[in-house]
Amino acid sequence: MIPSLRREDLRIIGFNLSKILFIVSIVMLIPIIVAVIYGEFEIIPHFLIGSSISVILGSITHHYWETDKEMELKHALCFAALTWIVSMLVTAIPLWTTGSTNSYLDANFDTMSGFTTSGLTLVPDIDHLSYSINFYRHFLQFFGGIGIIVISLTVLSRSELSSVLTFKGEARDIGIKPNIVRTARVILGIAIAFMVIGSVLFTAAGIIEGANLRTAIFDGVNYSMAAYSTGGFAPHSQNMLFYHSTLYEVIALIIFLIGSFNFSFHYSILSGRRREIFKNIEIKTFFTILLLSTLVISGLLLFSGVYSTPDVLFRKAFFQAASAQTTTGFGTLYPVQISTIWPSTVVFMMAMLMMIGASANSTAGGIKAIRIGVMVKSFVREIKKALSPRSATVETTYHHVEDTPLTETVAKGAMLIAFSYVLLFIVGTTITMLHGYGMSDSMFETASAVGNTGLSSGITSPAMPDTLKVTYIFLMWAGRLEIMAVLVLIGFTILGIRRGFRK
């Protein structure tokens, strides 16, 4: 019989969620520094209210569900899924109370988009947001990006289906909680290092392009956080178009490409194993797909007469393809241009890139390049098997930090997760089309939500139906957690309710 959630399980999950509420309460206090710097004292109470509510809820759950029992995998998966929901609900408070969004639902949409590093937004007037609220949105993406790497390395990787996520640098036999703390420290160090490098480069580029120092620094920090977390939020409604600068776009490309690398890959490279660049299956798969797509997309846009010069092709076709596959969502053209100027074949290819995504154990979303690489290797192995004599054994390995045998479990896990993403994509596209949108736009927008990308064909706006907003919140959430954790939570909850959460 499938085990359901018992009261003791709820207590363990709830107790650990209380700690998330405490962390989130601190996250909501950090933008107060920005509010003080820019003299936005009227905004400070909104962050204090949000933070206080988070502390109160955290204290209540901490007090009533206190337990010293360790989390098991089933608790950890439910905890991971609920972390994003709880964080979304409380961090939406300052966005809502300051009137930055039209409703509490819209605020939830934006915070889920932030925490999942998606980048779709329902903020109606980004250009007139206060500095502190604008910083807050980007900080949520940075925080959410680090959060998903930690959860991916310490929780999701423990499941058989996600065995390709395993981080070889950490011991898997230690408890989940100490592993989370230890891994988070290392990830935070690396993320801050790249974020600082990005901020300096963006600030310098801003000054070169004529921005004043104050704007250049503010934009530099925010673009850097959004780029490293492959988030795609921007402090201006025109997104990357605001600066109209090739230099700014190249810096963005470098930072979000680095942000989309697997943490295990970062760890290997930064600890001296630089040959990994040429051997890693995920890096090879990711860049092969990206460059082949760039060739095809650029060719289609060039020969259909949309663009005619190499620099524009590079800045529109390659930038958008890289932004889509790394699931960043920075845009060098307006959403409406995607659906009106670009051929539908290119729009479809961009949707596929968003679904494929970049690396596992990174801030990027989608199916992940390592799974695509594993599936291709597995496919080739099956062909080899069919061509070989019956007595022959065909063994295949793949290199990801170390040479690993390609087992049936790994191949099956990759295929099941990929299948789940495709299923989610079909369901999301169908629901969007039922709201009256065209097929091409619906596919693009759904792929953007499921793959946590943030590029838009124009569907996502404050005026979109509430049911579609809820649908996209669910798609971003499920996509971020590779669907499995969400399915485990839903399954356990249904079984728990049916069995009355027995003791």
Partner 1 sequence: MGLRKFSLRAFLKKNLDFIAGVSSEIGLCIGIIIIALAISFFLVFIKSLA
List of residues contacting partner 1 (CB under 8 A): 193-194, 197, 250, 253-254, 257-258, 261, 266, 269-272, 274, 277, 283, 287, 290-291, 294-295, 298-299, 302-303, 308-311, 313-314, 317-318, 322
The values of phi and psi at residue 450, to 5°, are -65, -40
Nearer to partner 1, 79 or 330 (CB): 330
Nearer to partner 1, 41 or 287 (CB): 287
d(CA 478, CA 482): 6
State in Å, rounded, how far the first CA of the chain is from the last one: 17
Residues in Cβ contact with 373 at an 8 Å cutoff, skipping those fewer than 6 apart: 281, 282, 284, 285, 398
In contact, 4 and 498? CB cutoff 8 Å: yes
In contact, 133 and 97? CB cutoff 8 Å: no
d(CA 19, CA 230): 26
CA gyration radius, the chain? 22
Rounded to a whole number of angstroms, the minimum distance from the CB of residue 169 to partner 1 is 14
d(CA 186, CA 41): 35
Nearer to partner 1, 196 or 208 (CB): 196
Rounded to a whole number of angstroms, the minimum distance from the CB of residue 286 to partner 1 is 10
Nearer to partner 1, 283 or 468 (CB): 283
Q: Which residues pair with 403 in a beta bridge?
A: 399
Rounded to a whole number of angstroms, the minimum distance from the CB of residue 258 to partner 1 is 5
d(CA 325, CA 354): 5
DSSP codes, 370-386: HHHHHHHHHHHHHHHHH
Rounded to a whole number of angstroms, the minimum distance from the CB of residue 11 to partner 1 is 42
Rounded to a whole number of angstroms, the minimum distance from the CB of residue 270 to partner 1 is 4
Rounded to a whole number of angstroms, the minimum distance from the CB of residue 410 to partner 1 is 26
Nearer to partner 1, 181 or 277 (CB): 277
Which of 126, 122, 101 shows the shortest CA–CA distance to 239?
Answer: 126
Nearer to partner 1, 65 or 307 (CB): 307
Phi-psi category of residue 331: left, alpha or beta, with phi > 0 → left and psi -120 to 50 → alpha = beta
d(CA 71, CA 175): 8
Nearer to partner 1, 94 or 259 (CB): 259
> Measuring CA to CA, how many Å separate 25 from each of 72, 91, 216, 382?
26, 8, 29, 51
Residues in Cβ contact with 71 at an 8 Å cutoff, skipping those fewer than 6 apart: 12, 13, 16, 79, 175, 176, 177
Nearer to partner 1, 188 or 426 (CB): 188
Rounded to a whole number of angstroms, the minimum distance from the CB of residue 321 to partner 1 is 8
Rounded to a whole number of angstroms, the minimum distance from the CB of residue 324 to partner 1 is 14
Which of 30, 23, 255 shows the shortest CA–CA distance to 136?
Answer: 30
Nearer to partner 1, 108 or 268 (CB): 268
Rounded to a whole number of angstroms, the minimum distance from the CB of residue 332 to partner 1 is 13
Rounded to a whole number of angstroms, the minimum distance from the CB of residue 185 to partner 1 is 15
Instruction: Give residue for tokens 């963005």.
Output: 252
Rounded to a whole number of angstroms, the minimum distance from the CB of residue 295 to partner 1 is 5
Cβ density class 61-90: b for 16+ within 10 Å, e for less? bbeebeeeeebeebbbbbbbbbbbbbbbbb
DSSP codes, 8-19: HHHHHHHHHHHH
Nearer to partner 1, 212 or 309 (CB): 309
Nearer to partner 1, 268 or 378 (CB): 268
Which of 369, 290, 324 shows the shortest CA–CA distance to 118?
Answer: 324
Rounded to a whole number of angstroms, the minimum distance from the CB of residue 175 to partner 1 is 29
In contact, 116 and 483? CB cutoff 8 Å: no
